[in-house]
Amino acid sequence: MKYTRLGNSDLTVSRVCMGCMGFGDSGRGQHSWTLDEEHSREIIRHGLELGVNFYDTAIGYQSGTSEQYVGRALRDFTKRENVVVATKFLPRTQDEIERGVSGQKHIETMIDTSLSNLSMDYVDLYIYHMWDWQTPLEDIMDGLNRIVKAGKARYIGISNCFAWQIVKANAFAEKEGFAKFVSVQGHYNLIFREEEREMVPYCDEENIALTPYSALASGRLSRLPGESGTKRAQEDAYAKFKYDATAAQDSAIIARVAELAEKRGVTMTEISLAWLLSKVTSPVVGATKLHHIEGAARAADLELTAEETAYLEEPYVPHPLAGVMAQNRPEYAKEKHVWSTGDRKIGK
């Protein structure tokens, strides 16, 4: 495994981040395909054996049970100082807003709940999961700065945002002397490259780490159309919501991934992630089987030529925004998102 610095932080992370959305009680959240604790632990342990030291979860994943599984596994299999743990917090609920719970208090409650779930004293990276249009940015940045000063989070990151949003947030933080976002977790892969318009060049300029999710497009970049093999492939309605509408235009790229994989004698996973690894700091790669994390680890050692990269990129055409980013507008502030946890809807 190779390692790198996470943006403007002093965190050293593996070039592959294990995405833990697939771990958690399948009866307590949006997804029916998540792994139970025994199988989650097996994959986390194997990731550690392969050198993966970066683990990404969220309070919204299966009602916090992903955090619980991850925390217990890491406690049992490694030392706390040997891993970089990221988790995320959700926007205020309508009930909190009506009760007058401030953004600062909401963030304090969220981090305390996550730390309890993880059985940890701190997280290395605390991520603003999606833009909260109903809470003043000043309150969000103040709340995040307070938990950094309190030692509950070492650094902060942001997910599902436009470039102008992180620019505005970090400019405010710099003005006030607050902690600034050191990473962006956006939707970016070989068949969804809209982040290249503004976010990628901005982050390159400012040394902000890119840790994209959906690195394999929910498996679409790891197998040919029609091939299955996972419960997620059959049951993940949200992934279908993000990708089915553009399946026809994406097919040419997927075919080229398969062609190049055969030529190089590697898997489609390795080709797709090798391409992404040439663009970003550490992609978040979900794993629900041992071979998923094995393929991701091998990708860290695979380098594509300039000609191969151009060949993979050439068929791409612009895509409409999908998932949470399609709802990153003020008119959606009170709408329900596509992920459900209890009475709250969240998204990724």
At residue 23, φ and ψ (nearest 5 deg) are: -105, 140
User: What crossing angle do the helices spanning 65-77 and 37-49 adopt, rounded to 10°?
Assistant: 50
At residue 153, φ and ψ (nearest 5 deg) are: -140, 140
Q: At 336, list the tokens.
A: 């329900």
**What is the torsional sign of CA 54, 59, 65, 67?**
positive
Query: Which residues lie across from 209 on neighbouring strands?
Result: 183
C-alpha of 238 from chain center = 15
202 as an active site residue: the answer is no
Torsion of Cα atoms, 258 then 259 then 262 then 265, to 10°? -90
CA distance 69 to 262: 36
CA distance 184 to 280: 10
CA distance 181 to 223: 34
CA distance 216 to 51: 20
Number of helical (H) and strand (E) elements in the chain, helices listed first: 13, 12
Q: Among the options 3, 55, 61, 238, which is catalytic? A: 61
DSSP result, 238-269? HHHHHHGGGHHHHHHHHHHHHHHHHHHTS-HH
Instruction: Spell 67-104 as b/e; 16+ CB within 10 A means b.
Output: bbbbbbbbeebeeeeebbbbbbbbbbbeebbeeeebbb
Long-range contacts of 248-252 (CB under 8 A, 24+ apart): 249/317, 249/319, 250/191, 250/217, 250/220, 251/225, 252/315
Residues designated as active site? 61
